[in-house]
Amino acid sequence: MAPSLDIKLEHKLSNEEIIALDKQHVWHPYSSFNSPLTPFPVASAKGVRLTLEDGREVIDGMASWWSMLHGYNHPKLNEAAKSQIDDMSHVMFGGLTHAPAVKLCKTLVDITPVGLNKVFISDSGSVAVEVAIKMAFQYWISQGMSEKNKLITVKNGYHGDTFATMAVSDPVTGMHHMFESVLAKHFFVPAPQTKFNETFDEEDVSELRATLKAHHQNIAAMILEPIVQGTGGMRFYSPVYLKRVRELCDEFNVLLILDEIATGFGRTGKLFACEHAEIVPDILCLGKALTAGYLSMAATLTSDKVATGICEGEAGVFMHGPTFMANPLACSVANASLKLLLEGDWKQQVSNLEAKLLKGLLPAKELPQVEAVRVLGAIGVIELKQPIDMVRIQPRFVEEGIWVRPFGKLVYVLPPYIMNDEDVATLTAAMIRVVASI
């Protein structure tokens, strides 16, 4: 065991001290203390660049896991946070309200598909999905149909790391399969195979229809990621599949939950991915980019039907209440971010990123180790034939001057919308060089 470093709170840590203390005490997502990866300490960030403690700069191709739409250290977002903190950084939301939250909810109602007019604000994407699931179950309990206590979803999905969300992520190929014995059991059907721009194959919904027909009396809701299956493989599927899902949910009296934590706010070329199919879910989950990466916040939207149905039941209220719900700081930054997005030219930004990512990544298809290249909106993916050795590959990206965080067989990027053509070209060329070296 490494010796403990005697560090006072006011002491400015060196790069080496940060790494040493991190390895001793800090548990990163999906990491091991038995064989820890050496982290890269970040000193500051601005625009699309991270400045590391050792002085190197890297172009961030991940937008901090889909969230930093406008880049780092944006003056408008900084000002929103600074202005709000002088009034109040936080206040409980039970029995109280405030302007930043009310404005945010009104804006979300205005920009999401028509009919979603009730907003529950929470702390993170996983919690937003938990809230959605809870809404669906309480709705049917309130309707006197408590037997509708299962969910249905597709394989290759991912909805979060909490227990209810793990239970609707892929139980076999997903990262949570080891918990299968302790998770609630739900219905899984094959993921859609028709790709985004292909002619739809109706066989994609045959097993879904059969399962709903046989078990709809016990199914509260269907949940899935619209258009893009993220952590389950960065797969892009046909919008017609979503149309059929909406039709089948209506036919068999099942609610539809769409998880747009990753795809919301323009990432796929539409403000919300469900717009590709022109459908409206009963419950919609948003997160990640909601505050443009500044603070953790998410939202779950639903309709009058669901809200009224829940509130006319035994409890008379929706049974959920996070401590940091509708944090004023986060709400203020979210309002500023949405103003930037809606008043800016996000459609053109995303369209340009799509074209430049496609141009930059297509040459990777010629590499023998590459299975496929996929681009949709501001999402670019190189799928390899074999899993990546993170210990060896992660430092290579940093050496190339880019920040990319692969997983499994996937090397993918989701740039901030403000990334210019030169930086996209640098990013994609470096990705190909690293992949070619594998």
CA 14 to chain centre: 33
Would residue 24 count as lying in a domain?
Answer: no
Phi and psi at 186, nearest 5°, equal -130, 180
pLDDT at 6: 67
Contact 111, 286 (CB under 8 A): no
Would residue 23 count as lying in a domain?
Answer: no
Would residue 45 count as lying in a domain?
Answer: yes
For residue 312, what is the domain's CATH number?
3.40.640.10
352 lies in the same domain as 260: no
Would residue 16 count as lying in a domain?
Answer: no
Contact 129, 315 (CB under 8 A): no
179 lies in the same domain as 230: yes
How long a stretch of residues is the chain? 438
45 lies in the same domain as 90: no
Would residue 366 count as lying in a domain?
Answer: yes
**Tens-digit pLDDT profile for residues 268-300:** 999 999 999 999 999 999 999 999 999 999 999
51 lies in the same domain as 195: no
Contact 191, 238 (CB under 8 A): no
Would residue 283 count as lying in a domain?
Answer: yes
Strand partners, 159: none
Identity of residue 194: T
Q: Which of 324, 343, 362 is the last residue of a domain?
A: 343
pLDDT at 5: 60
169 lies in the same domain as 191: yes
Q: Which of 304, 319, 343 is the last residue of a domain?
A: 343
Residues assigned a catalytic role: 30, 158, 259, 288
Q: Helix (H, G, I), strand (E, B), or coil: what is residue 257?
A: strand
274 lies in the same domain as 307: yes
84 lies in the same domain as 64: no
3-state SS, 356-392, equals: HHHHHHHHHHHCCCEEEEEEECCEEEEEECCCCCHHH
Q: Which of 304, 325, 343 is the last residue of a domain?
A: 343
Q: Tokens 């930054």 label which residue?
A: 333
Strand partners, 280: none
59 lies in the same domain as 130: no
336 lies in the same domain as 352: no
Question: In whole angstroms, what is the distance from residue 323 CA to residue 123 CA?
Answer: 9
229 lies in the same domain as 101: yes
Query: 338: closest CA among 330, 349, 348?
Result: 330
Q: What predicted TM-score, i.e. pTM, was given to this entire model?
A: 0.96
Assigned token pair, 19: 């790494």
Contact 219, 150 (CB under 8 A): yes
pLDDT at 307: 98
For residue 418, what is the domain's CATH number?
3.90.1150.10
**Tens-digit pLDDT profile for residues 68-120:** 999 999 999 999 999 999 999 999 999 999 999 999 999 999 999 999 999 99
Q: Which residues of the chain have pLDDT under 50?
A: 1-3
pLDDT at 99: 98
Measured from the Cβ of residue 262, the count of other Cβ atoms closer than 10 Å reads 27
Number of domains in the chain: 2
Question: In whole angstroms, what is the distance from residue 70 CA to residue 54 CA?
Answer: 25
Assigned token pair, 3: 């010796």
Question: In whole angstroms, what is the distance from residue 11 CA to residue 22 CA?
Answer: 15
Question: In whole angstroms, what is the distance from residue 438 CA to residue 435 CA?
Answer: 5
- Output the CA angle 152-269-384, nearest 5 degrees: 70
Residue-number span of the structural domain to which 318 is assigned:
78-343
Would residue 14 count as lying in a domain?
Answer: no
116 lies in the same domain as 253: yes
Question: In whole angstroms, what is the distance from residue 360 CA to residue 432 CA?
Answer: 9
Would residue 285 count as lying in a domain?
Answer: yes
179 lies in the same domain as 68: no
